Amino acid sequence: MTQTQVLTPASLEELVAALAQATPQTRLLAGGTDLVRELRRPVREPDLLVDLTGLAALSEVRLEEGMLHIGALATFTELQWHPLVREHALCLSLAAAQVGSTQIRNAGTIGGNAANASACADGVTALTALGAVVITVDGAGERRTQSLDDVVLGPGRTSLRYDEAILEFAFPPLDAGHRSAFAKIGSRTAVSVARLSVALVVRFDADAGVLSEARVALGAVGERAFRASELEAKLVGRAADDETARLFADGCVAAVEASIPGRYSLPYKRHAAVGLAYDAWNMLALSAPSEPAWT
């Protein structure tokens, strides 16, 4: 009968040593909200389970050299309430707050969210809008910094090698001139996987009265979260008014249509994207709440 070896590294050195023993059958354990469920019905039992939860340093959130660093083991609950995240990455806090249930948020981690690479991972959608990079380490002790897009490839697929662990994410912090939002539609109010999500980051130039920067990431409408660059370009230079809200909603619909043409869920999602877009837009609180025209 196969045996699974469990290693619980307590330092970076021990982590590297553990990863050096990894094989393609090795699994890394963070919050366990997906992995434990999978291990209960193993297709193939792992030879080695590297339990990352002993690495306290990996749950840190810190500002360093002009970048906000989010440790891979930071839980959604921590991200929801962390003052630095609230101040410099509000959309990530909002996304974390809508993940699963309280229990899932207490255990689930942002690193696991990315490594599991679900197309509807709320954390990944927010990190995509924030322009995050992923910092990893492997069994040789080598560190790599890659864009999130280069790591998360598609449903359950990443570029991570079997001996590579995510240490942290880093991105430029949002400042006082930024506003950000996250909205999602599930099949119910809470404890629901996103069927459609959007993270929105804008910078509003108060003097000029226009948006000087816009980043839009859509989740759960395609293989992975993605930036809607065409829409972003259209938003820049526009006033924060009802017309821009409508343009944002139309742009989200167009991006959804382009991403999942012919998909069974498209007829619903293209309509629902309108409501989602207005929800996110109104969260920015740049103007009085907008509403589309209803018939």
- The site for another protein (CB under 8 A) is made up of 1, 41, 185, 187-193, 265, 267-268, 271-272, 274-276, 278, 291-292, 294
Q: Quick one: 76 or 278, whose CB is closer to another protein?
A: 278
Query: Smallest distance, Å, CB 18 to another protein?
Result: 25
Q: Quick one: 188 or 288, whose CB is closer to another protein?
A: 188
Integer Cα distance of 123 and 109 in angstroms: 9
Query: Smallest distance, Å, CB 252 to another protein?
Result: 12
- Running DSSP on this structure, what letter comes out for residue 26? -
Query: Smallest distance, Å, CB 201 to another protein?
Result: 22
Q: Quick one: 117 or 185, whose CB is closer to another protein?
A: 185
* CA distances to 160, 254, 285, 287 from 247, in Å: 37, 10, 17, 15
Q: Quick one: 176 or 187, whose CB is closer to another protein?
A: 187
Q: Quick one: 83 or 294, whose CB is closer to another protein?
A: 294
Query: Smallest distance, Å, CB 170 to another protein?
Result: 31
C-alpha of 252 from chain center: 18
Q: Quick one: 188 or 262, whose CB is closer to another protein?
A: 188
Query: Smallest distance, Å, CB 68 to another protein?
Result: 31
C-alpha of 134 from chain center: 12
φ, ψ (nearest 5 deg) of residue 137:
-135, 150
Q: Are 22 and 48 in contact (CB under 8 A)?
A: yes
Q: Are 281 and 240 in contact (CB under 8 A)?
A: no
Query: Smallest distance, Å, CB 265 to another protein?
Result: 8
- Running DSSP on this structure, what letter comes out for residue 246? H
* CA distances to 27, 32, 38, 95 from 42, in Å: 12, 14, 6, 30
Q: Are 145 and 103 in contact (CB under 8 A)?
A: no
143 Cβ partners below 8 Å, 6+ apart? 135, 136, 137, 167
